[in-house]
Structure 1
């Protein structure tokens, strides 16, 4: 485990951090890609700007947003991060998916993420790195367990990395139970800790002061992954809550950029 100072700092509360990040203006994409007929089956695309002098040969990045899988939260709140990555030379795709309270739910939501990544692989990049935040971190870790995904690395930001434990803790007011429509009999089919090893290089970045998704979930995932033969990394950030990891220009975001640029090849599971 690596520990680093990052994010809002000890003097800023988690709510102030959330207000600051969620209050950022939406950024318009350069293009869109549809992978289905439902309005939520869309992927926003950003092209590299290279304002920091980097070339466009950096890894293609796929973003998966969070929000406890609920309809109230869509990809717009992560668009500033997408634009930030593009300004630093990355091609970026931000995935939308059907969500709980709308047309989504356990199988539908996961199916959408799988279809979206296949569309990215087919039309944009044969291989890519996936960044998922919160519930999107869960979806990214789940996607890495799928065969022939095209994912060369996962960077999971404050992820819901252990669904069973998240349900025990009642995170998000029962968000896991809502995702499964009140029936958890199939939870192991979607729980990252039950789908190991993946063989995909994986880094988890998590704030120690996260009130929404406790770092305990990332610690449990890392322990389970190492027991299964994977070699994940956990970067624990002091003085950091749930949202600084997706805040453009934050120390936590700089750590994300370094992780995305680190050469790393997938291993056999």
Structure 2
């Protein structure tokens, strides 16, 4: 495989079933899968992940920035989760294990994929949505993805919520701003207690700082991803 390029990988017939795979120069490199957030809604796309992917590549790892079907665009559950697994299946097996990195709803998918896909060696959640039942505002958002309340579709909550997948026997790092206005910090705090994942608490940090290159918050996320990714190398 040539080094230092970006390849579009199509993993299904829907327009949202593709990913952008970018590599650094060099002979070997670990792979970080970037999963964007946006509460699973169609109005947010993988353009959110492109600056992160570019920065990861600049730091010596390959980045696989994936798109997936979202609400009002053919998504919902289980289609959205199935797309993440299919995107992982489409990546060249010769590249070896991968680490997932996801923000907000993408953090949900990053950790969920770690629980479900054998190729995922570890996960970094950036202000991840990790427990669909712990906070009413998160439960309302999850109901949109899952197509009903916990009483109406309990099997979907059991299938989709990362908290319901525990134990997950893979390294996980949860990076979360203490001043997050969209996803409560306690989502990561409680999940770390329950799972044994590493928690990186960022004082005076909001939701979007974690996906803004040049901030200390993004640097913390990048460091976590690079550390886990390099562990996957022989």
| TM-score between the two structures when normalised by the length of structure 1 | 0.78
* 1:104-253 map, 5 Å: 104-122=75-93, 125-148=95-118, 150-165=119-134, 168-171=135-138, 174-182=140-148, 183-186=152-155, 187-225=157-195, 231-253=196-218
Distance 1:216 1:260 in 2: 21
Aligned-residue CA RMSD in angstroms? 1.8
Verify: 1:257 aligned to 2:190, yes or no: no
2:17 maps to 41
Q: CA deviation at 1:113?
A: 0.6
| Count of residue correspondences | 222
Distance 1:151 1:61 in 2: 10
Q: CA deviation at 1:131?
A: 0.3
1:31 maps to 7
Write the deviation string for residues 137-165 of structure 1: whole angstroms up to 9, x where unpaired: 001111111152x1111011000011112
Distance 1:142 1:243 in 2: 21
* 1:62-101 map, 5 Å: 62-101=33-72
Distance 2:224 2:30 in 1: 11
Residues 56 and 243 of structure 1, relative CA distance in 2, 3 Å threshold: farther
Distance 1:184 1:213 in 2: 23
C-alpha contact (below 8 Å) 2:35/2:65 kept by paired residues: yes
State the structure with bigger RCO (CA 8 A, min sep 6), 1 or 2. Answer: 1
Instruction: List gaps (5 residues or longer) in structure 2.
Output: none
Write the deviation string for residues 173-209 of structure 1: whole angstroms up to 9, x where unpaired: x321110112432201111111111111000000000
Higher mean C-alpha displacement, 251-260 vs 95-104: 251-260
C-alpha contact (below 8 Å) 1:56/1:89 kept by paired residues: no
Instruction: List gaps (5 residues or longer) in structure 1.
Output: 1-28, 50-54, 226-230
Q: Secondary structure at the match of 1:32?
A: strand
Write the deviation string for residues 214-269 of structure 1: whole angstroms up to 9, x where unpaired: 111111211221xxxxx31000001100011111121122222222232546xxxx
